[in-house]
Amino acid sequence: MNRRQSQQSERFDITEEASSRLCGVLTEWNDEKGYGFITPNNGGPKVFLHITSLLPTARRPVAGEVFFYKLTTDNKGRPRAAEAFQTVYDERRDIPFHHSFIKEFARFWLLALVLPLILAVRAGNPVPGLIAAFFINSLLTVLFYWEDKYLAQYKYWRIPEKYLHIWEFLCGWPGALYAQHAFRHKRSKTSYMIVFWLCVIANIAILFLLFFREDALKIGKPILEDWWKNVSSR
């Protein structure tokens, strides 16, 4: 039997066995201690996997692999995998269509400007457009955070951070703040959070200048003139 036939046979056997098992991704694995955790595809709490729970035909686990397993519990009632095994290495893992759509939609950040601009022009007032921008873009940013969390858990290619930051800058930052805490995503990454807060500051500063420019000039001009006089007189 050649290699291709062997792989086809293995895939057929796996399909037969997998029909009676749950499926998930091994998102954590401690190779030295021989245990880790599977994140189920259908949601729910992570499932403990021990090296002794693998079928004899299974390989040494690696984080990111797709596992089939029977769900049991330990003596404390916590979920535990039994008779677990991986899919074959060369099996193609296509991202589900709706996840692919959300991921790609994040790239079309120019759409974040279209509806707010239309509303502002039709109303002859920027306020309706601004309200729409905060509401719609925040909801979309929450969706993109949720999607990026999913992609991270299941080891797919992620949404580039630059697109998340663009949506945050375009009035989506309230949604990002919510998503960071609700999904526990991105908030522990210092470099990301620095850029995030810069986006927030830039957004607020631009809006302040847009709506309160004249008031800012009235307040700021005398202060700057007094400061310049003091500097010049020294």
The predicted-structure confidence for 78-91, as pLDDT tens digits, reads as follows 999 999 988 754 44
Task: Please check whether residues 74 and 125 belong to one and the same domain.
Answer: no
Q: What is the pTM of this model?
A: 0.58
Asked if 110 and 206 sit in the same domain, the reply is: yes
Q: Is residue 68 a part of any domain in this protein?
A: yes
CATH code of the domain in which 54 resides: 2.40.50.140
Based on the structure, what is the number of domains in the chain? 2
Domain range enclosing 25: 3-86
**pLDDT above 90 as % of the chain:** 48
Contacts of 129 (CB under 8 A, 6+ apart): 115, 116, 117, 118, 119, 120, 121, 123
pLDDT digits (tens, 9 = 90+) for 159-212: 999 999 999 999 999 999 999 999 999 999 999 999 999 999 999 999 988 877
Residue position matching structure tokens 């074959």: 88
- End-of-domain residue from the set 34, 63, 86: 86
Tens digits of per-residue pLDDT, 119-147? 888 888 888 899 999 999 999 999 999 99
Which one of 55, 86, 117 terminates a domain? Answer: 86
Task: Specify the DSSP class assigned to residue 45.
Answer: S
